[in-house]
Every structure is written in C-alpha cells, then in structure tokens.
C-alpha cells in the first residue's frame, strides 16, 4: 500500500474542501437537520409515556449520537465516483501508481476533517438546548469504537461497489438513491431498529443497513445486551466480508468493459 501517495491525495482534497468550506458546511447542515427533525417528532410522540422502553431522554441521546455517527459513516464521495467515470476523470485515476479507490477514500477523509468543526458546534448546540444523558461503560465505549469503524468500512465499500457499476451503466444515480432509501428505512434513521414491528424488525436485523448506522448507536446508548452486541459484531464482519468480495468481483467484471474517450 502506498501510504505516502494516499496522504498526498488527502492533503490535496482537504485544501480543495477548505477553500469552499462554506458550501460543504451548508451541505452538512442539510444532512444533520433530518436526524434533528426525527428527534423532535419522537420527543413529541413520547411526551406522555415511553415507547417500547424509549423515553424522551433516550430519543434525544439516540438522535444526537446519530448526527455524529451519520457524518462519520456517510460516504460523501460515492456520488462523485459515478460522475468521475462519466466525465473521464476516472481514466486519470487509472494512470496513477495508486489503486483508484484511493481517490474516493482521500476525498471522504478530507471532507470529514473539513466539516468536523461545524459538526461539533451543531451537536454542542443540541446538547445545550435539549440535554444529553447516557450510561456509558468502558466496555461499551470500546465496542462502540470497533463497531463505528466497521460501520464506516461497510457503508463506504458498499456504496463504492455500487458506484463502480457506472462503468457499465448510466443508471448509477438511481441505484445510489435506492441504497440511501434502504438505509433510511432499515438503518434506524426514521425509527430505531429495535422499535420496528415484528417481521420488519427481523428483516432489518439481518440486512446490512442496520450495521452501517443504527447498530453502533443502539450499542452505545445501552439498548443492547452482550449477546446482541456479539451477534451484531459477527454480522457486521460477515457483511463486510461479503461486500469486499463483491467489490472485487464487480471491479474485475466492470473494468473490462470500461472505455473512455476524450482529448
């Protein structure tokens, strides 16, 4: 692995994002407002009584942490990979002595660094306005960090694999939209996964989307027992393995059909 080349790409992307940080902070604000709206809805819904063990304080903690976790795991560059393939920029990535995945990885890391100060300010304001309380143990914190890393890897590689389909189809934006919709429904965004009704909850538990976002939040807020934590980590690792293998297959199949024409 060429770490020096990767660091150089991160620096290049970071300078670019910092030069236009006002635009990207505005973009980040839009992503953070949705969890805030969901939080307000659930606060009102649980005003008189708890909902399946969730009270107002639980919903505040859940969605406050979601704002942070979503910004850490959201693969912002997966929307740009398809465009890079269509406009020919991807061809220049292939000419570098680096794997093409380095470019979206560098852009993803740089974007998160550039937007981190604004994210911290936004979350701090929410904590001041609504309060924040969770019972955090050392074990839960360790598991949370592990699951957050796995969630980031799973969500990024999953989206990047879909983006590579742009090598063979121009319908990539539709596929990415479906991906975001499934995350919205099954990852715990609109409603915590543990609150989903019967059969829908079973589906969500075994699909990969919960492990991209909702699972680390449920863990750190103390809503999961040790058995469920271990099961969740195993499923995260299994899905990550499946996605990595799928990525390699998609890359080998699609790159053979890629053609770029330009000046």
> Cβ neighbours of residue 157 under 8 Å, at least 6 residues apart?
240, 243, 244, 247
Q: Is the pLDDT of residue 218 over 80?
A: yes
Residue 179 CB neighbour total at 10 angstroms: 20
> Is the distance from CB of 153 to CB of 239 less than 8 angstroms?
no
In a domain, 146, yes or no: yes
Query: How far apart are alpha carbons 21 and 39 in whole angstroms?
Result: 27
Confidence tier at 263 by pLDDT (50, 70, 90): very low
Structural domain includes residue 263 = no
Residue located via tokens 């539709």? 174
pLDDT at residue number 250: 92
Nearest-angstrom CA–CA distance, 209 and 216: 12
Identify the pLDDT of residue 217.
95
Nearest to 42 by CA among 221, 188, 167: 188
- Partners of 54 in the beta sheet? 51
Give percent of the chain above pLDDT 90: 43
Task: Give the per-residue pLDDT at 26.
Answer: 81
Q: Look up residue 236 and give its two tokens.
A: 């995260």
176 Cβ neighbours under 8 A, 6+ residues apart: 78, 79, 82, 159, 162, 163
Name the pLDDT band for 3 (thresholds 50, 70, 90): low
- Tell whether pTM > 0.85: yes
pLDDT band at 97 (very low <50, low <70, confident <90, very high): confident
| 232 domain-assigned | yes
Distance CA 188, CA 258 (A): 36
For the chain, the average pLDDT equals 86
261 occurs within a structural domain:
no
* Residue of 70, 253, 81 whose CA lies nearest to 162: 81
Note whether residue 262 is domain-resident: no
C-alpha 85/C-alpha 128 separation (Å) is 44
- Judged against a pLDDT cut of 70, whether residue 203 lies above it is answered with yes
Could you give the number of structural domains in the chain? 1
pLDDT at 260: 58
- Tell me the two tokens of residue 189: 């965004």
Give the confidence band of 30 by pLDDT, cuts at 50, 70, 90: confident
Residue 260 lies inside a defined structural domain of this protein: no
Q: Is pLDDT larger for residue 113 or for residue 41?
A: 41
Domain that holds residue 220: 3-255
Neighbours of 135 (CB within 10 A): 9
Model pLDDT, residue 212: 95
84-93, 124-133, 185-194: lowest mean pLDDT where? 84-93
| 25, pLDDT greater than 70 | yes
Q: Assess if residue 20 is contained within a domain.
A: yes
Q: What is the pLDDT of residue 2?
A: 61
> Which of these, 150, 207, 165, 200, lies nearest to 183 by C-alpha position?
207
CA quadruple 128, 51, 41, 151: dihedral sign: positive
The pLDDT assigned to 66 comes to 94
- Is 41 inside any structural domain? yes
């Amino acid at each position: 692995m060429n770490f020096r080349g990767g660091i150089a790409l991160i620096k290049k992307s970071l300078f670019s994002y910092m030069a236009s940080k006002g635009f990207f902070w505005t973009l980040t604000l839009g992503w953070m407002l949705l969890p805030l709206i969901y939080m307000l809805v659930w606060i009102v819904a649980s005003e008189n009584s708890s909902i399946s063990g969730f009270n107002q304080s639980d919903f505040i903690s859940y969605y406050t942490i979601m704002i942070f976790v979503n910004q850490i795991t959201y693969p912002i560059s997966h929307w740009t990979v398809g465009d890079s393939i269509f406009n020919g920029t991807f061809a220049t990535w292939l000419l570098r002595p680096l794997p093409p995945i380095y470019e979206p990885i560098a852009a993803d890391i740089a974007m998160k660094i550039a937007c981190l100060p604004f994210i911290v300010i936004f979350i701090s304001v929410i904590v001041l306005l609504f309060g924040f309380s969770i019972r955090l143990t050392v074990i839960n914190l360790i598991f949370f960090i592990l699951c957050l890393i796995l969630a980031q890897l799973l969500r990024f590689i999953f989206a990047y694999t879909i983006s590579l389909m742009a090598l063979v189809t121009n319908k990539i934006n539709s596929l990415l939209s479906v991906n975001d919709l499934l995350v919205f429904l099954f990852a715990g965004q609109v409603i915590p996964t543990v609150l989903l009704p019967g059969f829908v909850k079973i589906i969500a538990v075994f699909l990969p989307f919960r492990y991209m976002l909702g699972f680390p939040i449920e863990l750190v807020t103390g809503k999961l027992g040790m058995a469920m934590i271990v099961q969740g980590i195993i499923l995260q690792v299994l899905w990550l393995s499946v996605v990595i293998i799928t990525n390699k297959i998609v890359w080998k199949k699609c790159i053979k059909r890629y053609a770029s024409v330009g000046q």
